[in-house]
């Protein structure tokens, strides 16, 4: 029997997660498809103080609570890329790189991404001085000056956040005043590390490998001026926050949009296709905030429930009663367990990982060479001791540096800290971590084990064929920050290619631990892939895009 969902939500930001809560609570069989980690733009927001009922929180913390709420109501999650849709029939089809999903209703909540300005040098220096996410990349500008382009809410808030790292922040606003609420503007003016230049526009950035000069113009007086990096700094940063563009390209031709690509809906979030809804920042609206996205999602989820109920009634479909789910033994055990060896894993997380590792099919051996003079190497050892206890098919081999030269050669232990994964035959899989996989990289580490041991994440046959066809050796260093929510997807993609093709080696490298690599390759933004110690590729990339770089 074909598995048909009641509702597929495309996008795991606040709108999609809100819709999931309402749909799950109404007992709709619901799945949320998200190409990356849940949260969208909200996951990159360092501080949230305008969400009613929560006086102050961070974006990642709020999103984590929303995701847990969805799981409480039985909503499923899958991480994959949507490649096409078919809304022409009663049963809608959502096509992904991992196969097709069928559903009676759809909520599109793919949000919007930062808009680029197109000034000279913007593309050339993206990742080498030009950035779009202060949470991801702010730390790279420690002790440097930065410019923030924009006059809205995001520009003001991100400028304040960047003062944690930068010696000075200059806001470049083409408008004569801020377009954000006065309370936020007042905080900017009160910060002695921020200077604001209104009626000013960026003309371009220039330099040799990294930004060294920038030109600006006053759009009232037409006076041009230039900023040059201080000799002791050598470079500076430019963060662009000038609005967003809807992520709706895949839906063009399938649904009605305006000329800017925003999806048109009525007040109930209905599109022109029965059973298809849109919610969040991809709709034309005057205010794009978490609170409005959540409201859209709630309305869409509620109306989808009515639509599905009417469809099932019309078709004579009767849902089978849901079996009462017993309490999870892992959670009970976790609640009473003692603290583990690593502070990175909570008791609840250990319980969840036990459930995941119980499903793996083959043995995996984690091999770490420990440099006891390095605190991060010792921290990684303790983390691995903790993880290895959570699954019968997980094994751990620890060696002090210099103790087993043969193993060091086998796993290419050229940087510390280091842990490599061996397959069931004891062969090096090409998967290696240089850093402690905390933060967002805990997800990529767990997926590396799951993909190596099986069953692994589903992979489109054509992509697998491309991966298998790579017939030359390649090394991929994925430079990451543990605060970067885009990085794990690149790590997972590169490492999956390594697992499927013995010619490839894929390393996660925590850039904060390897400043020499950062300087040598002029990396000022993550994720960044260094291929064969020559080519540097910045930005989030899908597995097929990574494979195409290696063919």
Position with higher pLDDT, 340 vs 530: 530
Q: Calculate mean pLDDT across residues 432-453.
A: 92
In this model, does residue 330 exceed pLDDT 60?
A: no
Q: Calculate mean pLDDT across residues 177-193.
A: 94
pLDDT at 339: 38
**Mind listing the pLDDT tens digit for each residue in 359-402?**
999 999 999 999 999 999 999 999 999 999 999 999 999 999 99
Residues 425 and 481 in one domain: yes
| Max mean pLDDT range (131-145, 265-279, 513-527) | 265-279
pLDDT at 39: 64
Domain end among 213, 240, 267 = 240
CA 94/CA 33 separation, integer angstroms: 10
Residues 427 and 533 in one domain: yes
Among residues 6, 81, 136, 510, the one annotated as catalytic is: 136
Among residues 6, 137, 303, 371, the one annotated as catalytic is: 137
Residues 188 and 62 in one domain: no
In this model, does residue 103 exceed pLDDT 70?
A: yes
In this model, does residue 276 exceed pLDDT 60?
A: yes
Q: What is the dihedral of CA 447, 450, 455, 458, to 10 degrees?
A: 10
Q: Are the C-beta atoms of 137 and 269 separated by less than 8 Å?
A: no
Whether residue 118 is contained in a domain is answered as no
CA 91/CA 77 separation, integer angstroms: 20
Q: For tokens 């000034």, name the residue.
A: 119
Whether residue 390 is contained in a domain is answered as yes
Residue 139 pLDDT class (50, 70, 90 cuts): confident
Q: Are the C-beta atoms of 398 and 381 separated by less than 8 Å?
A: yes
Residues 307 and 410 in one domain: no
Q: Calculate mean pLDDT across residues 123-136.
A: 88
Q: Are the C-beta atoms of 212 and 228 separated by less than 8 Å?
A: yes
3-class DSSP assignment, residue 63? helix
Structural domain total, the chain: 3
Whether residue 322 is contained in a domain is answered as no
CA 321/CA 284 separation, integer angstroms: 40
Domain end among 280, 315, 350 = 315
For residue 433, give both structure tokens: 């971590």
Helix then strand then coil, % of the chain, to nearest 5: 30, 25, 40
What is the per-residue DSSP string for 145-208?
Answer: EEEEE-SSHHHHHHHHHHTTT-SEEEEE-SSSS--S-HHHHHHHHH-TTEEEE-SEEEEEEE-S
In this model, does residue 512 exceed pLDDT 50?
A: yes
Residues 236 and 250 in one domain: no
pLDDT at 120: 96
In this model, does residue 537 exceed pLDDT 90?
A: yes
pLDDT at 498: 97
136 has catalytic annotation: yes
Whether residue 429 is contained in a domain is answered as yes
pLDDT at 98: 79
Range of the domain at 496: 329-550
Whether residue 120 is contained in a domain is answered as no
Q: For tokens 């003016």, name the residue.
A: 189
Residue 327 pLDDT class (50, 70, 90 cuts): very low
CA 363/CA 53 separation, integer angstroms: 47
pLDDT at 48: 77
Percent of the chain with pLDDT over 70: 93
Residue 323 pLDDT class (50, 70, 90 cuts): low
Residues 273 and 362 in one domain: no
Q: Are the C-beta atoms of 99 and 184 separated by less than 8 Å?
A: no
Which of 525, 233, 168 has its CA nearest to residue 159?
168
Position with higher pLDDT, 102 vs 351: 102
Which CATH number belongs to the domain containing residue 19 in this structure?
3.50.50.60
pLDDT at 329: 38
Residue 458 pLDDT class (50, 70, 90 cuts): confident
Domain end among 292, 315, 338 = 315
| Cβ neighbours for 551, distance < 8 A, ≥ 6 positions apart | 466, 469, 470
Give the pairing type, strands 213-218 and 224-228.
antiparallel
Residues 254 and 289 in one domain: yes
Whether residue 121 is contained in a domain is answered as no
**Cross-strand partners of 514:** none
Residues 30 and 156 in one domain: no
487 has catalytic annotation: no
pLDDT at 44: 61
Position with higher pLDDT, 157 vs 504: 504
Residues 254 and 403 in one domain: no
Q: Calculate mean pLDDT across residues 91-113.
A: 93
In this structure, of 4-8, 9-13, 225-229, 314-318, the range with the lowest mean pLDDT score is: 314-318
Residues 341 and 444 in one domain: yes
Q: Are the C-beta atoms of 279 and 21 separated by less than 8 Å?
A: no
**Mind listing the pLDDT tens digit for each residue in 462-506?**
999 999 999 999 999 999 998 787 899 999 999 999 999 999 999
Whether residue 473 is contained in a domain is answered as yes
For residue 333, give both structure tokens: 């055990």
Sign, Cα dihedral of 213, 218, 219, 222 = negative
**Mind listing the pLDDT tens digit for each residue in 411-437?**
999 999 999 999 999 999 999 999 999
Segment holding 450, helix H or strand E: helix 441-453
133 has catalytic annotation: yes
| Max mean pLDDT range (76-80, 81-85, 125-129, 196-200) | 196-200
Residues 208 and 254 in one domain: no
pLDDT at 466: 96
Q: Are the C-beta atoms of 238 and 146 separated by less than 8 Å?
A: yes
Q: Are the C-beta atoms of 466 and 534 separated by less than 8 Å?
A: no
In this model, does residue 35 exceed pLDDT 90?
A: no
Which of 492, 522, 500 has its CA nearest to residue 79?
492
Residues 167 and 296 in one domain: no
In this model, does residue 328 exceed pLDDT 50?
A: no
Residue 286 pLDDT class (50, 70, 90 cuts): confident
Among residues 133, 180, 484, 487, the one annotated as catalytic is: 133
Which CATH number belongs to the domain containing residue 428 in this structure?
3.40.30.80
Which of 372, 366, 453, 473 has its CA nearest to residue 417?
372
Q: What is the dihedral of CA 476, 479, 480, 485, to 10 degrees?
A: -60
Mean pLDDT of the chain: 90
Residue 332 pLDDT class (50, 70, 90 cuts): very low
Q: For tokens 């490599």, name the residue.
A: 420
pLDDT at 38: 64
| CA angle at 494 for the pair 139 and 102, rounded to the nearest 5° | 105
**Mind listing the pLDDT tens digit for each residue in 204-254?**
999 998 999 999 999 999 999 999 999 999 999 999 999 888 999 999 999
Count CB atoms within 10 A of the CB of residue 284: 12
pLDDT at 243: 82
Which of 385, 381, 354, 358 has its CA nearest to residue 370?
381
Q: Calculate mean pLDDT across residues 271-276.
A: 97
Whether residue 123 is contained in a domain is answered as no
CA 551/CA 38 separation, integer angstroms: 31
In this model, does residue 340 exceed pLDDT 50?
A: no
Q: Are the C-beta atoms of 211 and 120 separated by less than 8 Å?
A: no
């Amino acid at each position: 029997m074909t598995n048909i969902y009641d509702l597929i939500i495309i996008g795991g930001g606040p709108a999609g997660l809100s819709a999931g809560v309402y749909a799950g609570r109404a007992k709709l069989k619901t799945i949320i498809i998200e190409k990356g980690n849940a949260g969208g733009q909200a996951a990159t927001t360092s501080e949230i103080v305008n969400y009613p009922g929560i006086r102050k929180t961070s974006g990642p913390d709020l999103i984590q609570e929303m995701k847990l709420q969805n799981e409480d109501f039985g909503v499923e999650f899958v991480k994959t890329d949507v490649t096409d849709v078919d809304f022409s029939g009663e049963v809608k089809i959502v096509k992904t790189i991992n196969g097709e999903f069928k559903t009676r209703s759809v909520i599109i909540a793919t949000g919007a991404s930062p808009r680029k300005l197109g000034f000279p040098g913007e593309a050339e220096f993206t990742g080498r001085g030009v950035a779009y996410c202060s949470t991801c990349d702010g730390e790279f500008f420690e002790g440097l000056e930065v410019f923030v382009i924009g006059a809205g809410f995001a520009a003001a808030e991100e400028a304040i956040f960047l003062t944690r790292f930068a010696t000075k922040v200059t806001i470049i606003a083409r408008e004569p005043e801020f377009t954000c609420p006065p309370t936020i503007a007042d905080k900017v003016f009160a910060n002695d590390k921020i200077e604001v230049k209104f009626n000013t526009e960026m003309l371009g950035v220039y330099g040799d490998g990294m930004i060294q000069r920038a030109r600006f113009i006053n759009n009232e007086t037409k006076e041009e001026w230039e900023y040059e990096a201080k000799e002791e700094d050598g470079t500076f940063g430019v963060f662009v926050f000038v609005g967003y563009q809807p992520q709706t390209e895949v839906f063009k031709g399938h649904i009605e949009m305006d000329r800017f690509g925003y999806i048109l809906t009525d007040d109930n979030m209905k599109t022109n296709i029965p059973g298809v809804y849109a919610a969040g920042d991809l709709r034309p609206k005057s205010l794009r905030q978490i609170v409005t996205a959540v409201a859209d999602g709630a309305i869409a989820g509620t109306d989808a429930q009515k639509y599905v109920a009417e469809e099932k009634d019309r078709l004579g479909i009767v849902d089978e009663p849901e079996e009462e789910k017993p309490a999870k033994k892992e959670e009970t055990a976790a609640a009473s367990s003692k603290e583990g060896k690593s502070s990175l894993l909570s008791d609840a997380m250990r319980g969840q990982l036990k459930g995941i590792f119980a499903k793996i099919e083959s043995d995996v051996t984690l091999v770490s060479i420990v440099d006891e003079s390095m605190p991060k190497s010792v921290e990684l050892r303790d983390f691995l001791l903790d993880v290895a206890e959570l699954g019968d098919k997980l094994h751990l081999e620890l060696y002090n540096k210099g103790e087993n030269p043969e193993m060091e050669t086998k796993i290419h232990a050229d940087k510390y800290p280091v842990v490599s994964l061996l397959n069931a035959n004891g062969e090096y899989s090409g998967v290696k971590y240089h850093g402690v996989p905390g933060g967002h990289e805990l997800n990529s580490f767990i997926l590396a084990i799951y993909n190596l041991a099986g069953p692994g994440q589903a992979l489109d046959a054509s992509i697998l064929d491309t991966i298998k066809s790579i017939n030359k050796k390649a090394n991929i260093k994925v430079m990451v920050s543990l605060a970067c929510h885009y990085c794990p997807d690149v790590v997972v993609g590169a490492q999956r290619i390594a697992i499927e093709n013995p010619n490839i080696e894929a390393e996660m490298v925590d850039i904060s631990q390897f400043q020499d690599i950062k300087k040598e390759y002029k990396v000022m933004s993550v994720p960044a892939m260094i291929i064969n110690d020559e080519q540097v590729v910045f930005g989030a990339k899908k597995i097929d895009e990574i494979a195409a770089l290696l063919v």
